[in-house]
Structure 1
Amino acid sequence: MAAFMQKYSLIFLVLLLLQNVYSANSQPYIGVNYGNLADSIPQPGDIVNLLKTTTITKVRLLGSVDQSMNALIKAFADTNIELVIGLDNTEIHWAATGPDAASQWVNSNVMPYYPASNIIIITVGDEVLTSEGEDDDISALLPAMQNIQNALNTASLGEKIKVTTVHSMDVLSQFSPPSSGAFNLSFVDTMKALLQFQTAHGSPFMINAYPFYAYKSDPKPETLSFCLFQPNSGQVDSRNNIKYMNMFDVQVDAVRSALNAIGYKDIEIIVAQTGWPYQNGPNEVGPSLDNAKAYVGNLINHLRSNLGTPLMPGKTIDTYIYELYDEDQKLGPSSEQSFGLFRGDGSPNYDAGLFKSSQNPMTPSPTTPASPTTQPKPAGLWCVPKPAGVSEAQLQENIKFACTRGIDCSPIQKGGACFEPNTIESHATYVMNLYYQVNGRNPWRCDFYHTATLTTINPSYNGCNYPSG
């Protein structure tokens, strides 16, 4: 009997050790974004093999699902890596036209690969509510989501694959203090309709949350420490006296508060994108190799701690890091092209503890992987068009967007102080900056569908004064 009990105890110990090893290498809350706007794209098999060496368990494929993306979806078969795929903003109207379009999309991009490739979420559009597209893009969003859901239902996948969309932090009118988080009034009715659909089908609320942009709008050393999960004095929410020690929790809890305020207390929040660039462009503050390593490394440690956020204690938020590889074809300054965890050859730009061989998630370290690189606070920040790759048609759309949202555009009209030079670029620069300044100088207000950037160079001239932060 004693020999039997000893043998039984040994088996139990082995099973326990195996469970710990599995737990150490399986962290279902860590995901990564993959985009293919790059000159050198690794082969699908190489991408999968690289991910197998890491603790990443989820991958979100960015943009439209094309032939190359389909090859990648197929390569993930039988890997247990969960996939998020989606329709980009240009496909929303098409998917909203009726059941045939949505069925065609599901039959082409889901049915040939599922369930061998574990697709868990389909996103319909990215930051649609806050993009500078036409208003009918917003009105088409819910019908497109409903049509994709119905197509999945027809294929008996409606309970297995969730349908949602991705939002920017700009859907909030404010996020600080976190307990005051609220949706922009112009989005509330649309948001409620989306959330009603999503809760009926159990789909998550997905948000892009970037402490990096919060630091860009307030580039002080203490802000940097707060954004990088570095030791800092914290920020107290004056409404509930909760002390926050990092910007990530502030942003996520602000979203939680906004959802709670309109009656959706139980919907799951997923961070669809977050990251930090490791290389800066001219007049940019914040990007550096040390800062990127510190942010991503400390974020991972924070997720592994299972502490959750102050408003969601003990709940780890599924978080997708932006991004797997650099995308050197993206427009804008160097930082836009320098979020990658890895180079095209598979070597890391920095090691933030994601390799299975480089960390022990069972005993997360509270220390920072690297010290932050600080920059002096600039005299001011202005929102301007990116220096290259922005068409006059897009700049005209930016003017239309800003001037129909309450800012004073009279200075760019004939006789106004900023009318001359009478060019689309000059007029767009003025109104884009003014829109950014009057809307709280939040960095996501300086996006204009990825055609804008912040600069420390004052664009004011003659009698045309550009306000700044």
Structure 2
Amino acid sequence: MAGIRNHFTIEMALVGLLVLALLDFTVAQIGVCYGSLGNGLTRPPEVVTLYNQNNIQRMRIYDPDQPTLQALRGSSIEVMLGVPNTDLQNLAASQNNANTWIQNNVRNYPNVRFRYIAVGNEVSLMKQDTSQFVPFVLPAMRNIQTAISAAGLGNQIKVSTSIETDVLGNSYPPSDGVFRPEVGQYLGGIIQFLVNNRAPLLVNIYPYFALIRNLQQISLEYALFTSSEL
């Protein structure tokens, strides 16, 4: 089990904390990201066991890995399922492609507690390695939403996308946060989609890195989400 714990420690350090905002936007719930990149990783059934043993009730996976979805069958763990960036163009191209994706990765697992589908991860005009996917994010989200609604899962699963904080022109303090002007048009359409479907905008945050880079201004309480300051 020590190897499993080390893997999760590294994963948390790399991806930060995943904040899942509830639909009323008044409560945040913390889950653990389960990455699958690496050598000699623990098998998914053992990972699910580790979650259960530590009362971790929410998991994020970055792609529809079939062994992981099989291991999650019948568990009480709520899942955020990621759509890889490399799938976005295909899903944006046609509704049938999105329907097939949902059938294979969601409807075929009726006893997995899907809660969110994150369509793309940190796709941004600010990043050279993801900027080519920008035109496909919103169309893919729309097609996935249509497929989810057609499956009768629209009240159970919310469709969103995960952004990075580099799209913010200012991020501290959080109450003064504002998007960079150059991403306004791209994110504006996404945010309107989310408002229309009562879904949250998902953000990958890395409080540890923010803390160590600015110890003079940022407190440990802020990095641990325990600060009362805005």
TM-score bin, normalised by smaller chain? 0.7 to 0.9
Give the drift of 1:45: 1.8
Partner of 2:201: 205
Measured in 2, the distance between the counterparts of 1:75 and 1:210 equals 28
Tell me if structure 1 keeps the 8 A contact 2:148–2:154: yes
Measured in 1, the distance between the counterparts of 2:159 and 2:77 equals 18
Residues 247-266 of structure 1: per-residue CA shift (max 9 Å, x gap) = x4xxxxxxxxxxxxxxxxxx
Partner of 1:35: 35
Give the drift of 1:148: 0.6
Partner of 1:149: 145
Tell me if structure 2 keeps the 8 A contact 1:30–1:55: no
Give the drift of 1:177: 3.6
Residues 217-273 of structure 1: per-residue CA shift (max 9 Å, x gap) = 33x4x457x1x32xxxxxxxxxxxxxxxx2x4xxxxxxxxxxxxxxxxxxxxxxxxx
2:69 is equivalent to residue 83 of structure 1:
no
Tell me if structure 2 keeps the 8 A contact 1:34–1:61: yes
Measured in 1, the distance between the counterparts of 2:175 and 2:29 equals 24
Tell me if structure 1 keeps the 8 A contact 2:98–2:144: yes
Question: Which amino acid is 1:156 matched to?
Answer: G
Give the drift of 1:211: 2.2
Correspondences of 1:267-278 after superposition (within 5 Å): none
Correspondences of 1:226-305 after superposition (within 5 Å): 226=219, 228-229=220-221, 246=222, 248=223, 302=226
Measured in 1, the distance between the counterparts of 2:145 and 2:101 equals 11
Give the drift of 1:43: 1.9
Measured in 1, the distance between the counterparts of 2:228 and 2:133 equals 33
| Unaligned stretches of 5+ residues in structure 2 | 1-27
Correspondences of 1:416-455 after superposition (within 5 Å): none
2:211 is equivalent to residue 184 of structure 1:
no
2:126 is equivalent to residue 126 of structure 1:
no
| Unaligned stretches of 5+ residues in structure 1 | 1-27, 230-245, 249-297, 303-307, 312-469
Measured in 2, the distance between the counterparts of 1:35 and 1:135 equals 23
Query: Residue 73 of structure 1: which of 65, 69, 72 is its match?
Result: 69
3-state DSSP of counterpart to 1:80: coil
Measured in 1, the distance between the counterparts of 2:117 and 2:130 equals 23
Partner of 1:389: none
Aligned length: 203
Correspondences of 1:371-382 after superposition (within 5 Å): none
Measured in 2, the distance between the counterparts of 1:134 and 1:164 equals 17
TM-score, with normalisation over the residues of structure 1?
Answer: 0.41
Give the drift of 1:216: 4.4
Measured in 2, the distance between the counterparts of 1:83 and 1:178 equals 27
Measured in 2, the distance between the counterparts of 1:35 and 1:161 equals 21
More strand by share: 2
TM-score, with normalisation over the residues of structure 2?
Answer: 0.80
Measured in 1, the distance between the counterparts of 2:84 and 2:228 equals 31
Measured in 2, the distance between the counterparts of 1:134 and 1:170 equals 13
Tell me if structure 2 keeps the 8 A contact 1:60–1:85: yes
2:45 is equivalent to residue 45 of structure 1:
yes
Measured in 1, the distance between the counterparts of 2:34 and 2:173 equals 32
Give the drift of 1:214: 2.0
Over the matched positions of the two proteins, sequence identity in percent amounts to: 30
Question: Which amino acid is 1:47 matched to?
Answer: V
Measured in 2, the distance between the counterparts of 1:178 and 1:82 equals 27
Measured in 2, the distance between the counterparts of 1:178 and 1:86 equals 26
3-state DSSP of counterpart to 1:40: coil
CA 1:135–1:30: 2 relative to 1, 3 Å = closer
Larger radius of gyration: 1
Partner of 1:174: 170
Question: Which amino acid is 2:46 matched to?
Answer: D
Measured in 2, the distance between the counterparts of 1:309 and 1:127 equals 28
Tell me if structure 2 keeps the 8 A contact 1:159–1:201: no
Tell me if structure 1 keeps the 8 A contact 2:82–2:121: no
Partner of 2:5: none
Partner of 1:94: 90
More helix by share: 2
